[in-house]
């Protein structure tokens, strides 16, 4: 508990001091106490935010951990508060008035604010992972994130991630033409497309190399049933001695060199 909470419960400074001297309270951050001599990682986060006052919230990496859209960190804890000055160690305090929500007992920034905050700390790739995690957990509101990021450091990264998430889904024919163009551009043999191999319909097949490439489109693979069917197909092809590679639109466009190297090696 924080000193301000103990005061609200009627504890005087002398009462707190006596309990500290008797080993009934243990000081964590400045002005924050626990009933045990050690605390967990979650306890460290709670101590950090309580030490910054009743209006403080965990933010940035700390809020991401609480929302489960980022990893738990043993390093610096970020807290956002409108006015409090903390003396805590390994603590970064951001001065701002933000919406305060409670998640699993922790006061934190909203998911939208958390993602906008993370843009100032993370690389584009790690920010994309945080967005993807929020989307999988159905916590992502793109309009709210856009509003939170406006005019702030990292706004361009947020815009880039949102653009990649909201780009229109390519059609099957677009995907097929892209693979043909990639093969021609990089002098790869052209595959047979939309053929039956070992009783399975596949997107692209190099017969001489026993290689199949499947083109993963969210539109055609977003259901659990489609996910299971894809795995069953891959298992059937592999039992027939056929290697299966899978590529998304982004992999064939933004990570083209790596995708081409993977196909060339398999061929």
Residue 118 lies in a domain: no
217 lies in some domain: yes
Question: pLDDT value at position 168?
Answer: 59
Q: Per DSSP, what are the bridge partners of residue 106?
A: 103
CA–CA distance, 138 with 163 (Å, rounded to integer): 18
Tell me, yes or no, whether 125 lies in a domain: no
Residue 190 CA to residue 168 CA, distance in Å, equals 27
pLDDT of residue 43: 75
Closest CA to 80 of 42, 43, 126, 118: 118
Task: Please check whether residue 56 is in contact with residue 74, taking contact to mean a CB–CB distance below 8 angstroms.
Answer: no
Contact 217, 175 (CB under 8 A): yes
In this prediction, residue 76 carries a pLDDT of: 84
Assigned domain for 159 exists:
no
- Cα 76 to the center of its chain, rounded Å: 18
Token couple for 195 = 């053929």
In a domain, 213, yes or no: yes
Query: In this structure, is residue 249 part of a structural domain?
Result: yes
DSSP per residue over 155-188, as a string? HHHHHHHHHHHHSPPPPHHHHHHHHHHHHHHTTP
| Residue 220 lies inside a defined structural domain of this protein | yes
At residue 28, the pLDDT reads 62
pLDDT for the residue numbered 92: 87
Note whether 221 and 227 are within 8 A (CB). Answer: yes
Domain assignment of residue 149, yes or no: no
Place of tokens 């196909």: 263
- Residue 240 token pair: 């027939």
Q: What is the mean pLDDT of each run of 10 residues along the chain (267 residues)?
A: 59 65 62 61 78 88 94 83 69 90 94 96 91 91 94 93 75 84 94 91 93 77 67 89 90 90 94
What is residue 240's predicted lDDT score, i.e. its pLDDT?
Answer: 92
**Which range of residues forms the domain containing residue 181?**
172-266
Q: Provide the CATH number for the domain around residue 195.
A: 3.40.960.10
Residue 114: which of 75, 93, 144 has the closest Cα? Answer: 144
pLDDT for position 243: 93
Confirm if 221 and 265 have CB atoms less than 8 A apart: no
The Cα–Cα gap between 218 and 83 comes to 45
φ, ψ dihedrals at 92, nearest 5°: -110, 120
Number of domains, the chain: 1
DSSP H helical ranges for 186-241? 218-221, 224-239
The two three-digit tokens of residue 207, written as one number: 């017969």
Give pLDDT, residue 117. 96
Q: Cβ of 50: how many Cβ atoms within 10 Å? A: 24
């Amino acid at each position: 508990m924080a000193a301000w909470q103990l005061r609200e419960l009627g504890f005087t400074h002398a009462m707190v001091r006596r309990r500290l001297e008797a080993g009934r309270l243990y000081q964590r951050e400045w002005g924050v106490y626990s009933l045990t001599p050690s605390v967990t990682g979650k306890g460290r986060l709670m101590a950090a935010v309580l030490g910054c006052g009743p209006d403080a919230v965990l933010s940035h990496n700390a809020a991401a951990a609480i929302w489960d859209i980022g990893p738990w960190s043993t390093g610096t804890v970020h807290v956002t508060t409108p006015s409090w000055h903390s003396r805590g160690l390994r603590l970064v305090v951001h001065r701002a008035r933000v919406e305060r929500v409670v998640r699993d007992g922790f006061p934190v920034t909203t998911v939208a604010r958390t993602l906008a905050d993370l843009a100032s700390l993370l690389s584009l790739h790690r920010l994309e992972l945080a967005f993807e995690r929020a989307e999988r957990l159905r916590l992502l509101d793109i309009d709210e994130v856009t509003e939170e990021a406006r005019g702030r450091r990292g706004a361009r990264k947020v815009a880039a991630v949102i653009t990649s998430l909201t780009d229109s889904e390519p059609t099957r024919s677009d995907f097929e033409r892209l693979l043909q163009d990639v093969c021609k551009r990089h002098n790869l043999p052209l595959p047979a497309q939309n053929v039956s191999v070992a009783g399975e319909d596949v997107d692209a097949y190099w017969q001489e190399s026993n290689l199949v490439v499947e083109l993963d489109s969210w539109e055609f693979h977003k259901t659990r049933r489609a996910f299971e069917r894809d795995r069953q197909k891959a298992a059937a092809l592999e039992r027939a001695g056929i290697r299966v590679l899978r590529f998304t639109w982004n992999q064939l466009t933004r990570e083209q060199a790596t995708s081409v190297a993977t196909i060339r090696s398999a061929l």
